[in-house]
Structure 1
Amino acid sequence: MKIIINNSSMQPLYEQITDQIKRAVMQGTLKEGDNLPSVRTLAKELRISALTVKKSYDNLEQEGFIVTVHGKGSFIAYTSKEFILEGKKKEIEIDMEAAIRKGRSCGMKDEELTELFYLILED
C-alpha cells in the first residue's frame, strides 16, 4: 500500500491517510481482509507521529472501513461500495447546500447559481 503525504497541504496528515485508504477501498486496490501496516510501521515509513496514524486508523474503524484485532493488526472490513458511495453523496450534498447559502447571502439569484453550476461542470 502506497500512501503519499503532502506536508505543504492544508489538509491534516491523518485526513490524508484516511482519504487515501478510503480511495484504495473504493477502487478495489484494498479488499476485504487485507492487512494494513501496523501503526508504528506506517508512522516510521511516512516519518510522522504514530499518534497521527492511530487517529487515522481510529477514524477508519469508526466509519466501518477497518477492523482492528488486538495482537493481530488492522484489516479492511467488509463494506459495500454502495454504502460508501452514499456517504460521499451526502458529503457533496452538504457542500453544495453550503455553496448555495453562500451565494444567496451575497445576493445571487437561483438562475445565477444554476448558470455558475453548469459553467463549473463544463470545466
Structure 2
Amino acid sequence: MIQLNYRDARPIYQQVKDGLRHLVVTGALQAGDKLPSVRALATSLAINPNTIQRAYEALEQEGYLYTVSGKGSFASPQADVNAARRERLLRDFDSSATELLFLGMTAGELARRLEEAALRQAGREEETP
C-alpha cells in the first residue's frame, strides 16, 4: 500500500500522508473505502502509531479522509476533495504569483509559464490510453 523511504528527506508522517493522498487521488481508495486502523497501518509499516495518527489528522483537515467515531477512517468523496484542494492550490498560486511579480517577473512571463504547463498537461492526457 505505502512504501517508506528512510533516505527521503521528508519526515515519515509526510511520506505516509503523501502515500495515502496518492491512493485517494488515483482512485485506488474509492469514496467510502475504509482505511486500515492506525494501529494496523503502524504495525505493517513498523512505525509509531502516533506517526500514522498525525498523517490521518492532516489528511482529514485537507478533506481527503473523514472519521466516524468507533468505526474508523474512510476516503472522502473525490468531488469534495477536489474542490477543497483546488481552493488551497489557487491560494498558493496567488501567493506565489504575487511574490514572483514582486521579484521582477512580468505578467507575460507568468502567462507563458502557465500556457507551457497547460500544453505539457494536454500532452500527458493524449499519451494516456
Q: If the TM-score is normalised by the length of the shorter chain, which range does it land in?
A: 0.7 to 0.9
Separation in 2 of the partners of 1:50 and 1:22? 18
Residues 97, 110 of structure 2: 8 Å contact kept: yes
Correspondence 1:21 to 2:15: no
Residues 10 and 93 of structure 1, relative CA distance in 2, 3 Å threshold: farther
> Could you list the runs of 5+ residues in structure 1 that have no partner in the other structure?
none
Percent identity over paired residues: 26
Could you say what secondary structure the match of 1:87 adopts?
helix
Give the unaligned 5+ runs of structure 2: 121-129
Mapping for residues 1-123 of structure 1, pairs under 5 Å? 2-62=1-61, 63=63, 65-70=65-70, 73-76=71-74, 79-123=76-120
Query: In 1, distance between residues paired with 2:50 and 2:101?
Result: 41
Superposition deviation, residue 14 in structure 1: 2.0
Return the alpha-carbon distance in structure 2 between the equivalents of residues 24 and 35 of structure 1: 12
Who is 2:124 aligned against? none
User: For this pair of structures, how many residues does the alignment match?
Assistant: 119
Q: 1:42 to 1:96 in 2, by over 3 A?
A: same
Task: Please give the alpha-carbon distance, in whole angstroms, between the structure 1 residues aligned to 2:112 and 2:32.
Answer: 46
| C-alpha RMSD over aligned residues | 2.5
